[in-house]
Amino acid sequence: MNILQITSSLRGAESESTRVTNSVVAKLVAANPNATVVTRDLARAPHPPLDEAALGALFTPVEARTPEQAARVALDDALIAQVQAADVVVLGAPMYNFGIPVQLKSWFDAIARAGVTFRYTEAGPEGLLKGKKVFVATARGGVYPPDADPQVPFVRMLLNFLGMTDHTFIHSPAQAMGPEAASEGRAQADATIEAALA
């Protein structure tokens, strides 16, 4: 089993979403001792955002790219190779201003490449990153019911678009609502992990 762990919290050792991803990975490894784990901390080592230069490099034929353009595309290629090689992807997705951190959005921008991780067909887009299990660890300051959650539909749409349709969301809510509520939120996340990996 190849496990890819992506974290994106700016809170370092205090990050709840990272705690949850670490817990998921630890349980996966305990159940699969021969598993390999690749980790990428997008907060400590941010991937460059999609900008005009990066877009220009991607739309330039390989043989016509400058060394700078080739180097920029190679950065995205490395992320794509990691997710292609993974059997399980564990994403840390804290909620920042009702969405995901810009660092995580840059990761999605990098791995979403037409003809490589998705393609357009007569029947519509088809994701090419199939056959992977995805765990998404969300940590949020408040509590959001499913019909009013601004973050999950966006992340689910991105994953589905890329072909990663087997996903489990693990929520750790109420992290800014006082110690008792935060503790209950962490317990909720832990219970979800236990149920998902039983």
- In tens digits, what is the pLDDT along the chain, a chain of 198 residues? 999 999 999 998 899 999 999 999 999 999 999 999 999 999 999 999 999 999 999 999 999 999 999 999 999 999 999 999 999 999 999 999 999 999 999 999 999 999 999 999 999 999 999 999 999 999 999 999 989 999 999 999 999 999 999 999 999 999 999 999 999 999 999 999 999 998
Q: Are 126 and 171 in contact (CB under 8 A)?
A: no
Domains of the chain, by residue range, sit at 2-196
Tell me the binding residues for FMN: 9, 15-17, 95-98
| Strand extents, DSSP E, the chain | 2-7, 36-41, 88-92, 118-121, 124-127, 133-139, 166-172
Global confidence as pTM: 0.95
Tell me the binding residues: 9, 15-17, 95-98
Residue 180 corresponds to which amino acid? E
DSSP state of 96: B
Give the CATH fold of the 2-196 domain. Rossmann fold (3.40.50)
